[in-house]
Protein backbone atom coordinates (compact mmCIF):
# COMPACT_ATOMS: atom_id res chain seq x y z
CA UNK A 1 0.00 0.00 0.00
CA UNK A 2 2.82 2.41 0.82
CA UNK A 3 4.37 1.88 -2.61
CA UNK A 4 1.02 2.52 -4.31
CA UNK A 5 0.43 5.67 -2.24
CA UNK A 6 3.91 6.99 -2.99
CA UNK A 7 3.36 6.37 -6.71
CA UNK A 8 0.04 8.22 -6.60
CA UNK A 9 1.54 11.09 -4.61
CA UNK A 10 4.25 11.38 -7.25
CA UNK A 11 1.68 11.72 -10.03
CA UNK A 12 -0.26 14.30 -8.03
CA UNK A 13 2.96 16.18 -7.25
CA UNK A 14 3.71 16.48 -10.97
CA UNK A 15 0.21 17.77 -11.67
CA UNK A 16 0.36 20.23 -8.78
CA UNK A 17 3.76 21.53 -9.92
CA UNK A 18 2.40 21.91 -13.45
CA UNK A 19 -0.57 23.88 -12.10
CA UNK A 20 1.66 26.13 -9.95
CA UNK A 21 4.16 26.82 -12.75
CA UNK A 22 1.42 27.55 -15.27
CA UNK A 23 -0.23 29.87 -12.76
CA UNK A 24 3.08 31.73 -12.33
CA UNK A 25 3.28 32.14 -16.11
CA UNK A 26 -0.37 33.21 -16.56
CA UNK A 27 -1.46 34.86 -13.29
CA UNK A 28 -4.29 36.94 -14.76
CA UNK A 29 -5.84 33.94 -16.50
CA UNK A 30 -5.70 31.88 -13.31
CA UNK A 31 -7.14 34.76 -11.28
CA UNK A 32 -10.12 35.06 -13.61
CA UNK A 33 -10.56 31.28 -13.77
CA UNK A 34 -10.52 31.01 -10.00
CA UNK A 35 -13.12 33.81 -9.78
CA UNK A 36 -15.69 31.49 -11.41
CA UNK A 37 -15.18 28.94 -8.64
CA UNK A 38 -17.00 29.18 -5.32
CA UNK A 39 -14.47 28.95 -2.48
CA UNK A 40 -17.27 28.14 -0.02
CA UNK A 41 -18.00 25.04 -2.07
CA UNK A 42 -14.30 24.23 -1.94
CA UNK A 43 -14.39 24.60 1.84
CA UNK A 44 -17.45 22.33 2.08
CA UNK A 45 -15.66 19.76 -0.09
CA UNK A 46 -12.69 19.94 2.27
CA UNK A 47 -14.81 19.55 5.38
CA UNK A 48 -16.66 16.54 3.97
CA UNK A 49 -13.41 14.74 3.11
CA UNK A 50 -11.73 15.56 6.42
CA UNK A 51 -14.82 14.44 8.31
CA UNK A 52 -14.74 11.15 6.44
CA UNK A 53 -11.06 10.79 7.34
CA UNK A 54 -11.75 11.46 11.00
CA UNK A 55 -14.59 8.94 11.06
CA UNK A 56 -12.40 6.33 9.34
CA UNK A 57 -9.64 6.91 11.91
CA UNK A 58 -12.16 6.57 14.74
CA UNK A 59 -13.41 3.34 13.16
CA UNK A 60 -9.86 2.02 13.16
CA UNK A 61 -9.62 2.74 16.90
CA UNK A 62 -12.94 0.98 17.56
CA UNK A 63 -11.88 -2.10 15.64
CA UNK A 64 -8.55 -2.11 17.46
CA UNK A 65 -10.49 -2.18 20.72
CA UNK A 66 -12.51 -5.20 19.58
CA UNK A 67 -15.64 -3.27 18.60
CA UNK A 68 -15.81 -4.14 14.92
CA UNK A 69 -19.53 -3.34 14.57
CA UNK A 70 -18.97 0.12 16.05
CA UNK A 71 -16.18 0.49 13.52
CA UNK A 72 -18.55 -0.54 10.73
CA UNK A 73 -21.04 2.18 11.74
CA UNK A 74 -18.26 4.79 11.78
CA UNK A 75 -17.04 3.65 8.37
CA UNK A 76 -20.60 3.89 7.08
CA UNK A 77 -20.75 7.46 8.41
CA UNK A 78 -17.42 8.15 6.67
CA UNK A 79 -18.92 6.83 3.46
CA UNK A 80 -21.91 9.14 3.89
CA UNK A 81 -19.60 12.10 4.45
CA UNK A 82 -17.65 11.16 1.32
CA UNK A 83 -20.96 11.03 -0.56
CA UNK A 84 -21.47 14.70 0.31
CA UNK A 85 -18.16 15.42 -1.43
CA UNK A 86 -19.29 13.52 -4.54
CA UNK A 87 -22.64 15.34 -4.64
CA UNK A 88 -21.00 18.76 -4.20
CA UNK A 89 -18.28 18.04 -6.77
CA UNK A 90 -20.74 16.77 -9.37
CA UNK A 91 -22.87 19.88 -8.77
CA UNK A 92 -19.81 22.08 -9.25
CA UNK A 93 -18.85 20.23 -12.43
CA UNK A 94 -22.40 20.60 -13.82
CA UNK A 95 -22.37 24.32 -13.03
CA UNK A 96 -19.04 24.84 -14.82
CA UNK A 97 -20.12 22.84 -17.86
CA UNK A 98 -23.35 24.85 -18.04
CA UNK A 99 -21.21 28.02 -18.15
CA UNK A 100 -19.13 26.56 -20.99
CA UNK A 101 -16.04 26.19 -18.78
CA UNK A 102 -14.93 22.75 -19.91
CA UNK A 103 -11.48 21.27 -20.10
CA UNK A 104 -10.68 22.97 -23.40
CA UNK A 105 -11.77 26.47 -22.31
CA UNK A 106 -8.26 27.63 -21.27
CA UNK A 107 -5.18 26.34 -19.44
CA UNK A 108 -6.68 27.07 -15.99
CA UNK A 109 -9.69 24.87 -16.70
CA UNK A 110 -7.62 22.20 -18.42
CA UNK A 111 -5.53 21.84 -15.27
CA UNK A 112 -8.53 22.30 -12.97
CA UNK A 113 -10.38 19.42 -14.65
CA UNK A 114 -7.29 17.20 -14.76
CA UNK A 115 -6.38 17.76 -11.10
CA UNK A 116 -9.86 17.65 -9.60
CA UNK A 117 -11.06 14.89 -11.94
CA UNK A 118 -8.08 12.68 -11.12
CA UNK A 119 -8.69 13.34 -7.44
CA UNK A 120 -12.42 12.62 -7.88
CA UNK A 121 -11.56 9.18 -9.28
CA UNK A 122 -9.43 8.54 -6.18
CA UNK A 123 -12.35 9.56 -3.96
CA UNK A 124 -14.59 7.07 -5.77
CA UNK A 125 -12.01 4.31 -5.31
CA UNK A 126 -11.67 5.31 -1.65
CA UNK A 127 -15.44 5.00 -1.26
CA UNK A 128 -15.36 1.50 -2.73
CA UNK A 129 -12.64 0.63 -0.23
CA UNK A 130 -14.63 2.14 2.65
CA UNK A 131 -17.74 0.19 1.61
CA UNK A 132 -15.72 -3.03 1.47
CA UNK A 133 -14.31 -2.28 4.93
CA UNK A 134 -17.84 -1.68 6.27
CA UNK A 135 -18.82 -5.18 5.17
CA UNK A 136 -15.64 -6.72 6.62
CA UNK A 137 -16.12 -4.97 9.95
CA UNK A 138 -19.81 -5.82 10.12
CA UNK A 139 -18.93 -9.48 9.56
CA UNK A 140 -16.15 -9.06 12.13
CA UNK A 141 -13.52 -10.12 9.60
CA UNK A 142 -11.18 -7.42 10.97
CA UNK A 143 -10.68 -9.17 14.29
CA UNK A 144 -7.03 -10.04 14.88
CA UNK A 145 -5.17 -8.78 11.84
CA UNK A 146 -5.99 -5.11 11.22
CA UNK A 147 -3.60 -4.51 8.30
CA UNK A 148 -6.40 -4.51 5.70
CA UNK A 149 -8.32 -1.88 7.65
CA UNK A 150 -5.17 0.15 8.25
CA UNK A 151 -4.31 0.05 4.55
CA UNK A 152 -7.80 1.18 3.54
CA UNK A 153 -7.84 4.02 6.05
CA UNK A 154 -4.32 4.99 4.99
CA UNK A 155 -5.49 5.23 1.39
CA UNK A 156 -8.34 7.51 2.48
CA UNK A 157 -5.89 9.75 4.35
CA UNK A 158 -3.87 10.06 1.13
CA UNK A 159 -7.05 11.25 -0.61
CA UNK A 160 -7.53 13.78 2.23
CA UNK A 161 -3.94 14.96 2.02
CA UNK A 162 -4.14 15.58 -1.71
CA UNK A 163 -7.34 17.59 -1.32
CA UNK A 164 -5.83 19.68 1.49
CA UNK A 165 -3.15 20.67 -1.04
CA UNK A 166 -5.57 21.14 -3.95
CA UNK A 167 -8.11 23.27 -2.12
CA UNK A 168 -5.86 26.30 -1.52
CA UNK A 169 -4.02 25.85 -4.83
CA UNK A 170 -7.17 25.71 -6.96
CA UNK A 171 -9.69 27.78 -4.98
CA UNK A 172 -7.80 30.29 -2.86
CA UNK A 173 -4.22 31.23 -3.79
CA UNK A 174 -3.67 33.97 -6.32
CA angle 163, 106, 40 (to 5 degrees): 35
Q: 122 Cβ partners below 8 Å, 6+ apart?
A: 8, 158, 159, 162
For residue 165, give its domain range: 40-172
What pLDDT does 79 receive? 97
Is 85 a member of any domain? Answer: yes
Q: Is residue 21 part of a domain?
A: no
Question: At 1, is the pLDDT very low, low, confident or very high (cuts 50, 70, 90)?
Answer: confident
Residue 45 lies in a domain: yes
Query: What is the per-residue pLDDT across 71-90, written as a single tens digit (0 to 9) for each?
Result: 999 999 999 999 999 999 99
Would 50 be classed as within a structural domain? yes
112 within a domain of the structure (yes/no): yes
Q: Are 171 and 42 in contact (CB under 8 A)?
A: yes
Mean pLDDT for the chain overall: 93
- How far apart CA 29 and CA 107 sit, in angstroms, is 8
Is 157 inside any structural domain? yes
pTM of the model: 0.92
In a domain, 1, yes or no: no
* CATH number (domain holding residue 130): 1.20.120.80
Question: Tell me: the pLDDT tens digits for 92-146?
Answer: 999 999 999 999 999 999 999 999 999 999 999 999 999 999 998 888 765 556 7
- Contacts with 104 (C-beta within 8 Å, 6 or more apart), sequence order: 110
Percentage of residues in the chain having pLDDT higher than 90: 86
Q: How far out from the chain centre does Cα 28 lie?
A: 27
Q: Structural domain tally of the chain? A: 1
Q: Is residue 51 part of a domain?
A: yes
Please state the φ and ψ torsions of residue 37, each to the nearest 5 degrees.
Answer: -90, 150
Amino acid sequence: MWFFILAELTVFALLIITFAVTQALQPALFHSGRAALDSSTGLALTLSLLTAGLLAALAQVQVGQGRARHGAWLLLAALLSASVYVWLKLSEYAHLVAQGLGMEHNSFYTLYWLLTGFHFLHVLLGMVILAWLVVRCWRRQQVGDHTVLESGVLYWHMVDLIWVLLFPLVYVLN
